[in-house]
Amino acid sequence: MNDRFSLEGKVALVTGAAYGIGFAIAQSYAMAGAKIAFNCRSREHMEKALEAYRAKGIAAKGYLCDVTDETQVGEMIGDIREHMGAVDILVNNAGIIKRIPMTEMTVEDFRQVIDIDLNAAFIVSKAVLPDMIERRRGKIINVCSMMSELGRETVSAYAAAKGGLKMLTRNIASEYGGYNIQCNGIGPGYIATPQTAPLREPQADGSRHPFDSFIISKTPAARWGTPEDLMGPALFLASAASDFVNGQILYVDGGILAYIGKQP
């Protein structure tokens, strides 16, 4: 059974894995034997990330690459192929969120979220698929969201992007499943990361942030998730244990999507 979850000798590219969810996923893959590549757009974040990987004993290879730029992505994939081997596992994790009411959001802001959260996944997946098709094997994992299923105020662009990413996941599975390529999504619930830190900051009087209280009340697990909560599910989707799982979204949300909430 351990062999089914081994990634020994595999090459994994995790986009946006300088910290948070992407870093935890990359760490889980390294622990299972994979060679790790990741990207970020900031040299400062790159240096901090490489130091964090070294502290975990992981010899990750970092790339300064904008995943919305097809030329840069092509160069990154080519370099990974030359120095590490063709990508066996791709995790499309890079993403941003802008919490702005729709009537106040500019078209430029909306397009930026769609470009990073959805278009980039298309660009990077397109770049790795030819090698996967040629070798007749590969794993693509798209980091979706509960907003792939639900709407909420102020996140119109994010929800639109993540809903599109869910359907891109299903389409890649449909189009390339015959080549023994599995494309699945992982849908985090509310995870305690730097991106969600503003939603958890205590109020001036020391009380919980209203949104923090709201999430705790809506989550059967009665807590925020951690990046480590995603390590096992992400490893499953990258390993031979999921070879007959395709086009699915695995929600790791503490039960939120199954829960209507407490009776008042």
Q: Which residues are the active-site residues? A: 158
The CA distance from 259 to 155, in Å, is: 21
Q: What 3 state SS string does the chain have?
A: CHHHHCCCCCEEEEECCCCHHHHHHHHHHHHCCCEEEEEECCHHHHHHHHHHHHHCCCCCEEEECCCCCHHHHHHHHHHHHHHCCCCCEEEECCCCCCCCCHHHCCHHHHHHHHHHHHHHHHHHHHHHHHHHHHHCCEEEEEECCHHHCCCCCCCHHHHHHHHHHHHHHHHHHHHHHHHCEEEEEEEECCECCHHHHHHCCCCCCCCCCHHHHHHHHHCCCCCCECHHHHHHHHHHHHCHHHCCCCCCEEEECCCHHHCCCCCC
- Alpha-carbon dihedral angle through residues 29, 229, 93, 151, given to the nearest 10 degrees: 160
Residues 103/80, Cβ–Cβ less than 8 Å: no
- Of 116, 121, 123, residue with least CA distance to 71: 123
